[in-house]
Amino acid sequence: MTTPALQAPRGPVTRKDVARYAGVSTAVVSYVVNGGPKKVAPATEAKVQDAIRRLGYRPNAAARALKLGSSETIGLVIPDNSNPFFSLLAHAVEDAAAELGYALLLTNSDGNLAKELRHVRNLAARQVDGVILSSVLMEPGLTDLESAEIPVVLLNHSADAPGFNSVGVDLVAGAKSAVEHLIGHGHTNIALAMGTNTGNYYDGREEGWLQALAGAGLPEGPIVRTPFTREGGYAAGKRLLAAASRPTAIFATSDLQAVGILRALHEAGLSIPNDIALASFDGSAEAEYSWPPLTTVKQPAKAMAEAAVSALIGAHRGRESEHLIFPADLQIRQSCGCP
């Protein structure tokens, strides 16, 4: 027969219930749950953890946040987590945050400025410890976060943002390396499938394309501007195939666009890369498993995510803001003409 001291409570489990079950004080339970400030003997901690598990105790996050002055939560705003690159980036941010004991609130702006602003306001109202923002604008509106004194890091942001931490990749150098590789295969008419966004800000991938062509003494190829989506790539491919001077190679500014272009080329009965070569940007899994596998410029998502989380936590400690740019890596596969 179970003694009253060991009976599981009928209502919501409290810290007192755990303390009574483990035969310790509520202060000891608090030290175990919060990891301090005082040390607990291993045997005692094991008893408390056993009581927590058996009773199904869940600490009150709101009360903990009030006590610590921290929600231990980071907000993340990205354009679209159905895009494999942003899905990879968000997962890496979540892992990096968890390593430091923070939970993640993920929101999608769908590349829409109004949605982005609404998500930023909502995260500020929830008093998150910081926000990582992949914005549709070169200079996003951060008034709500600034007034709430919530630090922010701009992620996937290639331009310097004075006064803010930002993390991005060298778009110009990455795109240039891909187009130069296509030129190395003998192509002289290289088209650009340029992604569009709400902000319509300058994109270094177009500059990289231009620099590679100019460096080889080649004229600019045709440009088609469509969304950073499979549908956008498909439309770009159809338009480029209908051009008076059909290109022999295409550089797409995202893997998703390239996947759409592949469909358009396959439907036209063309061979890739024999009839038209193709290279893209991002380095997502879709690039590796498309047919043929895509030559792509890979962004270091894990390193970028870890840098963004580190910068965000560092902002709490008075660390100076900085602009971090990572190099991109050209991954050679079959779509460009390499064996």
* Amino acid 322: pLDDT: 82
**164 has a pLDDT exceeding 90:** no
* Amino acid 123: pLDDT: 85
Q: Is 183 exposed, middle or buried (0-12, 13-18, 19+ CB in 10 A)?
A: middle
Provide the whole-model pTM: 0.76
* Amino acid 318: pLDDT: 58
Span(s) in the chain for CATH 1.10.260.40: 15-59
**24 has a pLDDT exceeding 80:** yes
- Give the Cα separation of 25 and 23 in Å (integer): 7
**199 has a pLDDT exceeding 70:** no
Q: In whole numbers, what is the pLDDT of the chain averaged over residues?
A: 86
Domain 171-299 class? alpha beta
Query: What strand order describes the sheet that includes 249-252?
Result: 223-227, 190-196, 249-252, 277-282, 295-298, 329-331
> Which tens digits make up the pLDDT trace of 47-72?
988 888 888 877 655 455 444 445 58
Domain 15-59 class? mainly alpha
Domain 72-169+301-327 class? alpha beta
Q: If DSSP states are collapsed to H, E and C, what string results for 297-323?
A: EECCHHHHHHHHHHHHHHHHCCCCCCE
